Amino acid sequence: MGGLKNSHVRDSKLDMISKIHSVVPYGFAGKLVEVEGDMNKGLPAFNIVGMANKTINEARERVRSAIVNSDFSFPDKKVTINLAPAELPKDGAYLDLPIALSVLVLSGQLIRSDTRGKMFVGELSLDGEVKPVRGIINIVETAKKAGYQEIYVPVKNLPQAALVPEMTVYGVATLQELFLALKNQVTLPQAMMDGKTPGGAKNETKEPILDHIRGQKLAKRAMEIAIAGHHNILISGPPGAGKTLLAKAGANLLPDLTPDEMIDITKLYSIAGLTTGEAVTSRPFRSPHHTASAPSVIGGATGPGEISLAHKGILFLDEIPEFPRSVLEALRQPLEDKQITISRANRKSVYPADFMLVATMNPCPCGYLGDPTHECKCTETQIQNYQKKLSGPLFDRIDMNISVEKVNNADLRAPLPSTATEHNVVKNTITGAIARQRARYGQDGKYNSSLSSFEVSQLLKMEPAAEKILAGASEQLELSARAYFKTIKVAQTIADLDGAEMILAKHLTEALTFRRR
């Protein structure tokens, strides 16, 4: 009899426990969280435990008000919510909705079977509205990998959540609406995608085209090569030479996003809080100011930085010597690894950072060194110190380096063309070169610039005359091993633009014109 009595006690206690499943973003991925609820007799209290930060602790007031203002009753007992696993740091308002559901289950307004096998995420306002959250793609992907087939998200997050294929996603507008849906009394908006990409918002309008740039034939050719092979490029020249215009026109030459790239970029922008609704459908063009701090450029505890927001696009550093040395040196590792690892005391996050660096600089602090129409007033020491701000190791990671001259004012007065003839021709040539790289490497998004030294040796072919030129230039220019292979990769891109089957002498000769300091 004693054993039977104890069994009834255990069952009674289990009936007072609720478990709601959720996910929180964690770096570029997500972590499962189990929201456990317990209700006991005693003085009325509402406590949240389990490594919750201030934002989640404040959920007590949001959840209580949302429940009451949605015409539900909040229990006048001691309610304890545990966010498991307890050792996982949690922040943000992602768990408001699952905490509210846990309370409704504890108080008997919902039953456990109503929420079984489902996952929930969302922030609650005081009136019970379910507000959008950041990192929704991370959340849905994590739920899918964990074996869940249904997830309930804020209705404004539906367009992004729908990017994840083979997952049933329901959009929730209010807590009361969700309650009625779980009771099969209303139907929620649903997005069950098959991997097709929905329409979205362009990240940024990039209007300049090559036809708008006066002269600068060599610079335009260099930008064509850089875009085709995803090569980092440094453009040096006096003020007003069109360096910034070249960079922005280059952004307009970038190829369209693939579906996988769109998901990755939208994830990053969602984590950063730059978008919670529509998908990002154009390649990023990020242009941080030279006063930007290292965490804002590299990334930090609050999320991805500019180098990750430029993933699969362009990071434009205008007047690169003006950036703090610490910021520039921090670029060395992601330029090689195509990702950034951010370590903090209690967590480590890894974000992708496969960007193309486009940088500009003046030849000297005043900008007029070598300008025939303006006198340079800088001392030799000032010029050397200015140019040395770009360290050797960082310069070694830049594939192409070109100098541009100021365009004559008379040429600037010529009327602009009404059509983008030159731009369209170059873009078509770039599209063909990218298609050749895709065929050679058997995958989207892999460019000549991303090849390892081993892959260069195995996959790229060079005629004997080109090899002889490279051997001589390597000694004469004292190329480092990294610069040696970068020269070959730039030559391969030129060959791809030319439609050649291998690197010819003329391709390598042209590549060497962009390899100097």
Measured CA to CA, the distance from residue 117 to residue 23 in angstroms comes to 14
Burial class from Cβ neighbours inside 10 Å (0-12, 13-18, 19+) for residue 2 reads: exposed
What are the pLDDT tens digits along the chain (517 aa)?
Answer: 444 444 444 444 445 789 999 999 988 999 999 999 999 888 889 999 987 777 787 889 999 999 999 999 999 999 999 999 988 888 888 999 999 999 999 999 999 999 999 999 999 999 999 999 999 999 999 999 999 999 999 999 999 999 998 899 999 999 999 999 999 999 999 875 544 444 444 444 457 888 888 878 899 999 999 999 999 999 998 888 889 999 999 999 999 999 999 999 999 999 998 988 888 999 999 999 999 999 999 998 778 999 999 999 999 999 999 999 999 999 999 999 999 998 876 678 889 999 999 999 998 898 888 777 788 889 989 988 888 888 888 988 999 999 988 777 666 666 666 666 889 999 999 999 999 999 999 998 899 999 999 999 999 999 999 999 999 998 888 888 999 999 999 999 999 999 999 999 999 999 999 986 5
pLDDT at 249: 93
Burial tier of 295 (Cβ tally within 10 Å: 0-12, 13-18, 19+):
middle
The C-alpha atoms of residue 309 and residue 232 are separated, in whole angstroms, by 17
Answer for the pair 326, 369: CB distance below 8 angstroms, yes or no: no
Nearest alpha carbon to residue 323 among 389, 232, 236, 235? 389
Read off the pTM: 0.86
- For tokens 């005043």, what's the residue? 366
Q: Which of 102, 100, 83, 79 is nearest to 34 (CA)?
A: 83
**Residue 198: predicted pLDDT:** 46
Note whether 197 and 259 are within 8 A (CB).
yes
Domains annotated on the chain, with CATH: 15-192 (3.30.230.10), 210-433 (3.40.50.300), 451-517 (1.10.8.60)
Torsion sign (Cα): 477, 483, 488, 489: negative
Residues linked to residue 169 through DSSP beta bridges, in sequence order = 151, 191
pLDDT value at residue 15: 53
Which residue type does 154 have? Answer: P
- DSSP three-state, residue 89: coil
Distance CA 161, CA 70 (A): 26
Number of other CB atoms surrounding residue 68 within 10 Å: 14
Q: For residue 13, what are its two tokens?
A: 């206690």
